[in-house]
Amino acid sequence: MPNNISFDRDRIRASIYKESFYEFMRGMWSEVIPETPVWNWHIKFLCDELQIVAERIFRNEPKKYDLIINVPPGSTKSTICSVMFPSWVWTRMPSFRSMCASYSFHLANDLSRKSRDVTKSDLYQRLFPEITIRSDQDTKAYFANTDGGIRYAVGTGGSITGMHGHALIGDDLIDPQMASSDADIKSSNEWLSETFSSRKVNKAVTPLILIMQRLHQNDSTAFRLNQRSAGPVRHICLPAELNENVKPTEVRDFYGKRGLLDIKRLPRSVLKQSLGELGEFGYAGQMLQNPVPRGGAMFKVDNLTITDTVPKLRETVRFWDKAGTKGGGAYTVGVKMAIDYDGNYWVLDVVRGQWEAYRRESMIEQMAHLDGISVRVGVEQEPGAAGKESAQNTIKRLAGYKVQGDPATGDKETRADTFASQVNGGTVFLKRGPWNAEYVEELRYFPRSTYKDQVDASSGAFAMLSRIKLRVGAF
């Protein structure tokens, strides 16, 4: 009789776990994780969101969206998505194939090992004896069951030729230590788009699930959100502190009066310590899910004023930051800037493009003609003989205009510092134009912006105006 009671309890328990991923996670936690669980509302919320996506896969229905989840580190995100989820889906669909990626193979392998430990645990095997791991495919990184289900681990950039998944799970595809490298960000996004996203059992059904902390203006989250041709995205954003980035808006009430995501694991004291450890940039991205420090980065763009009305101007310049790559790489940018009689600075126009050398020089000459001879022209001169020669060639083409070369000295941040002071002081105005949005966006994220050419050209234009002002006093 006692054995029958135990059997009935196991059947009930198995039924509950199959129907609820959240209950499955709660029940399986102690099987593989030694730490005492600290449950918070966001854990059930994320479990339920993943189950909604999975249910459509179980029914072989076309996906409604890809899923992106942004949460702080230490919030159980990897345990939910990479450890428990691949084991749970087998209880409903034993043939389910999970493709799981992380920024390093070591991390991906470790998460896979934990997921395998869940599946091979005594409790799991007792409740779901029909799930049997194949002895000939039973490694930490790649294990399979006898019904054709697999869990495959790969590091960002790794090979997955021949593998396909019912769900593609990207768990922190970018190393936080490498997030300041534009080259690493670009490489990660290319792998996500060209390799990982193509490994689907059924393109109409298989979703991409990204779970990560925000790290960069153009990290995996931003990259996928901007891929409009790749279809709709459900974006869940749960910063450590209540702010305007919380998505969906209906969960804001769960932050409570203290305005915190998790008052037990991420109280104010821990967040304060994290700010000291991560710095403003790291804290803004990893904890607040907005890779720009509070109030902006170097430029506090909220202090910029965009207007249609421009006053009488004392002096106007256009400064060029040149690049020579067509269709890729850096941009050639020409910023037209002026100072008025009250000492305010005006950004009047921005010309920006990725042109080969001949087209670039023609554009610089054309803009000088349109601006008129009263507008001084500045050209950044890169270090070395080639940079000097390039600047001299431009100056020769602009014979008849007031033009000068400006040797680049110091790093980009140092050159931008004095212009940033004026922006932050509220003395910089923008003439309304179609270029405004991209210009403000670059300033907002600088020095971690994807491109920095508009800032460089603005710094050069501001420096030119400052030198003119010094030569003639206060005009």
Distances (CA, A) of 64 to 9, 208, 232, 275: 36, 11, 7, 37
Q: CATH second-level architecture of 301-471?
A: 2-Layer Sandwich (3.30)
Per-residue tens of pLDDT for the chain, all 475 residues: 455 666 689 999 999 999 999 999 999 999 888 889 999 999 999 999 999 999 999 999 999 999 999 999 999 999 999 999 999 999 999 999 999 999 999 999 999 999 999 999 999 999 999 999 999 999 999 999 999 999 999 999 998 888 999 999 999 999 987 776 778 888 999 999 999 999 999 999 999 999 999 988 889 999 999 998 899 999 999 999 999 999 999 999 999 999 999 999 999 999 999 988 888 778 888 999 988 765 556 888 989 999 999 999 999 999 999 986 655 568 999 999 999 999 999 999 999 999 998 999 999 999 999 999 999 999 988 766 666 778 888 889 999 899 988 887 777 888 888 899 899 899 999 999 999 999 998 998 888 777 889 999 999 999 999 887 655 454 4
Query: What topology does CATH give the domain 2-287?
Result: Rossmann fold (3.40.50)
Instruction: Please tell me the distance from the alpha carbon of residue 318 to that of residue 369, in angstroms, as a whole number.
Output: 12
Return the domain boundaries, the chain: 2-287, 301-471
